[in-house]
Amino acid sequence: MSKNHPTDPDLAAALASVAHAASEHIPDSARIFTNRTLNLANIRCIGFDMDYTLARYRLAEMDDLAWSAAAAKLIKGGWPGSVFAHKPPDDFAIRGLVVDTAHGNILKMDQHGYVGRAYHGTRLLDSNERKTLYRDQRLGRERARFVPVDTFFSLAEVLLYARMTDAMSGDDPADRTPGLPQCSHQELWDSVRAAVDESHQDGTIKSHVVKRPELFLDRNDELKSTLQRLRAAGKRLFLLTNSDFAFTNQIMSFLLGPEDSDSGWKSDFDYIVVSAGKPNFFFEGRPFIEVDKSGAPRGKSHAVIASAQPHAGGSQAGLQEALGCHPDEVLFVGDHIYADIVRSRRSSGWRTALIAPELDHDTQVRRERSHAITEVEVAYETRSRVAEEIETYLHSLRCAAETGPTPGCTEDVGKSVDQTTITERIDALRAFEISLDHRLSTATEAVDRAFNPFWGSVFFERYGPSRFASQIRDYACVYTSKVSNFLLVSPNAYFHAPLEVMPHWSL
């Protein structure tokens, strides 16, 4: 080859060097990960959700607040106050779980809908209990029964439901909390949801947050710089939130500056849509209506957003028309896997970016426990090969036992096989398989505890991606831990998805 065209090894080394140099200054937890190729140069408009996207709430503090507010309402409804004296550990509730409201169980599924682990309240179901209930169950067959935990706002509901289930489900009647209302597991879930929803709607929770936002929110000085840099690059920005204007104004003023200042938060967006009602926003044709500083509607409603003033309600089609660009030129950034990512991707055709704060912890554990994780992977692969070899020998024995030729076997193989030698080999392999099972179980439990003592990694279950991770893979073009990570890359960055492969391609 000519001097201007490096050999393949030289090219590979050069490309690897460029990739390393480009990402060397970016910590693992701040990287933007790519599922589907995305060229920001082709993105003309970028939209942002607010809660848990632009506004990064402190989970423990928010869970405590929601727990207290909802518990007070449940006590008024007849539940003994002693039930809520002790809250389960905060890390018992994570995103990606599923609540089985028929049995009072909380589940974690793999990408295929198989239940990998389950708790009744806070009691872990053993393997036999779990398989009896969920051997053939797949999420989606009974949607009214299975409730996905898709948002951080749902974590307090999981904690409350688990604690109240414990109170109702003592194995010994003497262990059960006296004075409990008589209700089914479904009715219990409905009570929890109603109490938490009412606490949000009546301002019980919001009033505490806006009164002392510094107790519940992490202010990020890089957030405003991120938005300004995107606008400077020619992107049109919009805010699209389910929160009402009064609450939005308080939170965004804390994060980006008061609305009435020259550089206040409203100046960072071309359009502002509150009370959007996602996910219905993406497929219903509701009108927009402008709101004043108090959040009260003013003027007539419009099918298309009419001005840069804050509007309530509306639809994706009306916002799309105002933006004046094609759906694939819009990137929407949100944290709610269903309302922000799955539904917008399916209904609008917008490109999507998921905010997953869980990446901070997940990448740290993977870095610190890389040796243990590799040990688990090697043990699993070795066990698979051993099981395959055992089956091969068993097949030989079956062939040898036949009086005549059998499909897949030959008479020569059947006559020449040394049954004693094979049996001894099978016994040795089975003993090795048992030791591998123990090693794999011990190593897996240690790794799981490092991620989460109850559920393991939010992104992994059994032998592959969790249900939550598979939704991210299928619907989020890119994902990252926080919005300000976009400040670390070019506004016209080209995110290349990894080459997708099938198992037989490695042959």
Q: What is the pLDDT of residue 179?
A: 78
Question: Do 159 and 289 fall into the same domain?
Answer: no
Does 227 fall in a domain? Answer: yes
Is 32's pLDDT higher than 60? yes
- Percentage of the chain beyond pLDDT 90 is 71
Domain assignment present for 499: no
What mean pLDDT do residues 23-45 have?
90
- Which residues have C-beta within 8 Å of that of residue 371, sequence separation ≥ 6? none
Both 258 and 161 in one domain: the answer is no
CATH of the domain at 242: 3.40.50.1000
Lowest mean pLDDT among 136-140, 228-232, 286-290: 136-140
Predicted pLDDT of residue 299: 86
291, HSE (Cβ side, Cα atoms, 13 Å): 23
pLDDT of 40 higher than 90: yes
- The total of structural domains in the chain comes to 3
Does 392 lie in the same domain as 452?
Answer: yes
240 close to 278: Cβ distance less than 8 angstroms: yes
Domain that residue 238 falls in: 27-54+218-357
Name the H helices within 295-418.
316-323, 343-348, 358-368, 370-401, 411-416
Residue identified by tokens 């439990």 is: 445
The verdict on 348 and 402 lying in the same domain is no
pLDDT at 326 over 70: yes
- Confidence category of residue 432, pLDDT binned at 50, 70, 90: very high
Same domain, 144 and 264: no
For 12, the enclosing helix (H) or strand (E) is: helix 8-23
Inform me whether the pLDDT recorded for 340 exceeds 60.
Answer: yes
Please list, in sequence order, all residues whose beta carbon lies within 8 angstroms of the beta carbon of residue 297, skipping any fewer than 6 positions away: 289, 290, 291, 312
Q: Are residues 198 and 64 in the same domain?
A: yes
Residue 121 counted as domain residue: yes
In angstroms, rounded to a whole number, what is the distance separating the alpha carbons of residues 437 and 442? 8
Asked if residue 481 is part of any domain, the answer here is no
Return d(Cα 224, Cα 269) in angstroms, integer: 11
In this predicted structure, the answer to whether residue 452 has a pLDDT above a threshold of 90 is yes
Quote the pLDDT of residue 503: 83
Do 390 and 325 share a domain, yes or no?
Answer: no
Distance (Å, rounded) from C-alpha 304 to C-alpha 172? 61
SS3 content of the chain, % helix, strand, coil (to 5): 50, 15, 35
Q: Which of 357, 380, 399 is the last residue of a domain?
A: 357
Amino acid identity at 101: T
| Predicted local confidence at residue 16, as pLDDT | 56
Q: What is the pLDDT of residue 338?
A: 92
Q: Is the pLDDT of residue 177 over 90?
A: no
Q: Per residue in 42-66, pLDDT tens?
A: 999 999 999 999 999 999 999 999 9
Give the distance, in angstroms, between the CA of residue 497 and the centroid of all CA atoms in the same chain: 19
Q: For the ranges 70-74, 158-162, 276-280, 411-415, which has the lowest average pLDDT?
A: 411-415
Q: What is the pLDDT of residue 463?
A: 85
- Whether residues 233 and 208 fall in one domain: no
Query: What integer pLDDT is reported at residue 407 of this predicted model?
Result: 57
* pLDDT greater than 80 at residue 180: yes
Give the mean pLDDT of the chain: 89
Q: How many C-beta neighbours within 10 Å does residue 321 have?
A: 13
Q: Which of 196, 213, 230 is the last residue of a domain?
A: 213
Other beta carbons within 10 Å of 445: 13
Q: Is residue 330 part of a domain?
A: yes
Residues 74/437, Cβ–Cβ less than 8 Å: no
The percent of residues in the chain predicted with pLDDT above 70, rounded, is 89
The answer to whether residues 187 and 134 belong to one domain is yes
Residues 199 and 253 in one domain: no
275 versus 179: the higher-pLDDT residue is 275
Confidence of residue 294 (pLDDT cuts 50, 70, 90): confident
Looking at residue 487, its pLDDT comes to 95
Query: Of the given ranges (181-195, 391-405, 423-437, 472-486), which has the lowest mean pLDDT?
Result: 391-405
- Whether residue 488 lies inside any domain: the answer is no
327 and 453 together in one domain: no
In a domain, 4, yes or no: no
**Tell me, what's the pLDDT at 60?**
96
The pLDDT of 238-244, averaged and rounded, is 97
Would 500 be classed as within a structural domain? no
The position carrying tokens 């409603």 is 301
pLDDT digit string, tens, across residues 94-147 = 999 999 999 999 999 999 999 999 999 999 999 999 999 998 666 656 777 999
Q: Which of 310, 341, 357 is the last residue of a domain?
A: 357
What's the whole-model pTM score? 0.88
Is residue 362's pLDDT more than 90?
A: yes
Alpha helices in 257-369 (DSSP H): 316-323, 343-348, 358-368
Are residue 325 and residue 263 in the same domain, yes or no? Answer: yes
Q: How far apart are CA 239 and CA 497, in angstroms?
A: 27
Distance from C-alpha of 150 to C-alpha of 388, rounded to nearest angstrom: 38
